[in-house]
Every structure is written in structure tokens, then in C-alpha cells.
Amino acid sequence: MNSRTFSPLLQLLVVALAVVAVAACGNLASSTMGGAAGSAGTSGGGAAAGGTASTAKSTAVQPAPNPGDLVPPIAEGPRVIRTANVSVEVANGRFDTTLDRLFSISTGLGGYISGSTASTDTGALRSGTITFQVPTSKFNQALAEVRGLGKIQNFNIGGQDVSQQYIDLQSRLKNAEAQHEAMLALLSQAHTVSEIIAVQNQLGTITGQIEQLKGQIDYYDHATSYSTISVAVHEAAVVARAADSWGFTTSVSNALHGFVNTLDYILVGLGNAGPVVVLLLLGLLAWRFRRRLAL
């Protein structure tokens, strides 16, 4: 490679990287200067050695800067990822109705269902979990409607402030875009194949970083714009009826229990004594048979 051809490109690369580094640190400053324009008129025919010249100076008046051009826009406020976990107990047989109501709450508030599970426990009691997203502005309203579905047994609200991460991602994105522009300028100055390949490789790496940063920013945009609510629903077990105050039903039940237990013991005893009874009967028959032979 010719050193004379590469030297201007190398100088341009060093300058571009220096500009990008300064922009990343936030130390760039812009300054404007006003100049004076003068007009001179000559009189008396020509310019002689002892002639006099008159000049008039005028200062250009710069317009007042727009505050929006110097001051960055005010942030929209803290970016918080809000979540809620609620456990609701409903009456037996109200599981399907409660699920339908949760679907209506999510869609009615401009949200959507992101997951659902359902199962049947022992005793045919049904339970399940519905997870849905609602706009952050409707988060409290959605929780209020969920609390009206049944008996709340667990209620947990969480939040994660990601404002600092969001600002950092935006700064990194601006820096990467500035590097991308610098690489494009270098690519237009490249002449040899090796120079073009080197700059294109850098462009590919920076482009990948830009896409990754945009994806993370999009994630935070969605996560802070929509809140997640997870509702666990389960049916309540049927409560047994209370015994009568006189105790008559309890007494009858205990008597039947005792009767059945006694029969159970008798049957078990007969079963255990069965072989002994058979042997005794066989012995008795043998004794009577020998007695008859003796007579």
C-alpha cells in the first residue's frame, strides 16, 4: 500500500475517532462568534498616498437562541416496570365465570392475555392462573376489578425503576450512531480494497450494536408502558354442615359405627378361628366313628 495514499485516510480516521470519543464523553461545545463587517468608500478620484478613507463598522445582531435547541427535552418521568400477583378464592362452580371475567377485564382496559393455565385438584376443585397485560395508566383500575372477583388470599405489588438503564441505553445508541456516521465518511474516502474491507467490518460491528441497543430500548418501552398482572384463581372447598345442637344425629351415627365395628370384629374372629373349628369337627367325627366300631 502506498504511504502517500494511506496517510490522508489514516489522518481522517484518527480525526473521526477523536470526534466520536469526545461526543461520547459529552464534552463537545459549540460557540458562535459575531463578526464585524466594514464598508469603505473612497472619494476624490483615486487612491493617493495622502488620501483619506472612511470605514463604517456594523455589528451583526444574532437572534436569541431557542431554549429548546440548547436544553434537552424534559424526560417523560421515571420508567417503572410494574407487576402484581393476586390469589383469589371463588365459590365452587364459579371458576369458568371468573376466567371469563378476567378476559373481559384485560381486553376492556386495552390489554391482552399473555398466559393461562388450569387444572383440577383432588375433589373436582378447579384452579388456574391467568396472566395479562394492561396499560400502566389502567393498572390500579385493573387491580380494583380483580379484587372484586372473590376472596383475596394473597396480594403482592412490585415495581422496578429502570430509568437509569433507559437513559444509559439511549446515550449508547447516540454514540453508536455517531460512530456509524464516521465510518460512512471514512468509507467514502477509502480507495484500496483493504481499506474498504476494514471500514465495512467496522460498520458491520457498529450496525449490530445499534440493532441490539434498539431492541433493548423497545423492550423497556413496552415493559414500562404495559403492566403485568398474574391472578391465581381456585375454587373453595364445600364446607360440611354443622351438627344438630341436640346431638341426636351424632348419637345415631356413633351407634351405627359401633354396630358395624362389632360385626367387623366378629367376622374377623370367625375367619381366624375357622381352621381350628374344622379340625375339631373332624376329630369329633373320627371319635364317633371309632366308638361305633367298638360297639
Domain ranges of the chain: 80-161+228-235, 164-224
- Contact assessment for residue 189 and residue 16, using Cβ atoms and an 8 Å cutoff: no
Per-residue pLDDT tens digits of the chain, which is 295 residues long: 444 444 455 555 555 555 455 444 443 333 333 333 333 333 334 333 344 334 333 334 444 333 333 333 334 468 899 999 999 999 988 888 999 999 999 999 999 998 888 877 656 788 899 999 999 999 999 999 999 999 999 999 999 999 999 999 999 999 999 999 998 988 888 888 888 898 889 899 999 999 999 999 999 999 999 999 999 999 887 655 555 556 667 777 778 888 888 888 788 877 787 788 778 888 888 887 777 777 6
Strand 151-161's sheet: what is its strand order? 112-120, 126-135, 226-235, 80-90, 151-161
- Report the pLDDT value the prediction gives residue 245, as an integer from 0 to 100: 56
Q: Which three cell numbers stand for residue 33?
A: 462568534
Q: Please report how many Cα atoms fall inside a 13 Å half-sphere around the Cα of residue 229, on the Cβ side.
A: 31
Secondary structure of 158-226 in HEC code, one letter for each residue = EEEECHHHHHHHHHHHHHHHHHHHHHHHHHHHCCCHHHHHHHHHHHHHHHHHHHHHHHHHHHHHHHHHE
Q: Letter for the amino acid at 15?
A: V
- Report the pLDDT value the prediction gives residue 190, as an integer from 0 to 100: 83
Instruction: Report the relative pairing of strands 126-135 and 80-90 from DSSP bridges.
Output: unpaired
Where do we find the cell 371463588? 90
pTM over 0.75: no
- Report the pLDDT value the prediction gives residue 278, as an integer from 0 to 100: 79
- Compute how many other C-beta atoms are within 10 angstroms of the C-beta atom of residue 162: 18
Q: List helix spans (H) across the chain.
A: 3-25, 67-70, 95-108, 139-147, 163-189, 193-225, 248-294
What is the C-alpha separation between 235 and 220, in angstroms, rounded?
36
CATH classification code of 80-161+228-235: 3.30.70.60
- Compute how many other C-beta atoms are within 10 angstroms of the C-beta atom of residue 129: 16
What is the C-alpha separation between 75 and 96, in angstroms, rounded?
44
- Report the pLDDT value the prediction gives residue 218, as an integer from 0 to 100: 94
What is the C-alpha separation between 62 and 87, in angstroms, rounded?
65
Q: pLDDT tens, 7-39?
A: 455 555 555 555 455 444 443 333 333 333 333
| Sign of the Cα pseudo-torsion (202, 205, 208, 209, in order) | negative
Picking from 84, 220, 89, 78, the residue whose alpha carbon sits closest to that of residue 139 is 84
- Report the pLDDT value the prediction gives residue 282, as an integer from 0 to 100: 82
- Report the pLDDT value the prediction gives residue 16, as an integer from 0 to 100: 55
Q: pLDDT tens, 207-229?
A: 999 999 999 999 999 999 999 99
- Report the pLDDT value the prediction gives residue 66, as an integer from 0 to 100: 39
φ, ψ dihedrals at 91, nearest 5°: -65, 155
- Contact assessment for residue 67 and residue 56, using Cβ atoms and an 8 Å cutoff: no
